[in-house]
Amino acid sequence: MTSTDFELTPRLRARLAAGVDYDVLYKDTLNYGDAALDNQNGLGISLASGGAYSTVGDVAKLVSLQLGFGPDSVVTRQTLSLRDNVPVAGNTALNYGYGLGVQVWRWADTVAVGHSGNLAGYTSMVMYDRQRGFGVIVLRSAAGGEGDAGRLGGRAFRKLWSMLPPGR
């Protein structure tokens, strides 16, 4: 992963898409405009929660590793299996929860594992299925609104899930 960092380096800054917060497009009582500028001028407000700057290619390498396609020198399949057997703490509807470092979503018989993320002006969603061996990545240079990264990712994930057989 050569295009990922927790700091907006000059190399990453040159490739950074301009982030937009929804309230810039639709005025409400919140003002995220200054926060979006923090990503260009400083560390940004969300970095304490782990906000990293990356590219689709680098995130795809991470998802590939989570799926078990990476080198054992980084993480073994045995370790991934141990992670996957940690119980998920879910909500009362059992359609959303947290596992060991991951979020889990369920729509009827469809289950996705991954994580969402956002910095002011940017949102992301990563969802994957180890049994079917695929993942979905959404990196969006906008925050809020109807085109939410989680909704887009969930829609794409469910479509692909229905087309791919289990087992790889």
Q: What is the pLDDT of residue 125?
A: 94
Choose the most confident range, by mean pLDDT, from 28-32, 33-37, 116-120: 116-120
Integer CA distances (angstroms), 142 to 37, 84, 94, in order: 13, 31, 29
For residues 22 and 115, give the distance between their C-alpha atoms in angstroms, rounded to a whole number: 21
Does position 146 have pLDDT exceeding 60, yes or no? yes
**Pick from 88, 150, 83: which is nearest to 117 by CA?**
150
Confidence of residue 17 (pLDDT cuts 50, 70, 90): confident
pLDDT digits (tens, 9 = 90+) for 71-112: 999 999 899 999 888 999 998 888 999 988 899 999 998 999
For residues 51 and 72, give the distance between their C-alpha atoms in angstroms, rounded to a whole number: 26
Does position 35 have pLDDT exceeding 60, yes or no? no
Q: What is the pLDDT of residue 16?
A: 84
Using the structure block, give the residue that is written with the tokens 């991951």. 102
Domains, the chain, ranges and CATH? 10-163 (3.40.710.10)
Q: Which residue has the higher pLDDT, 72 or 41?
A: 72
- Supply 163's token pair: 């087309």
Whether the model pTM is above 0.95: no
For residues 114 and 105, give the distance between their C-alpha atoms in angstroms, rounded to a whole number: 9
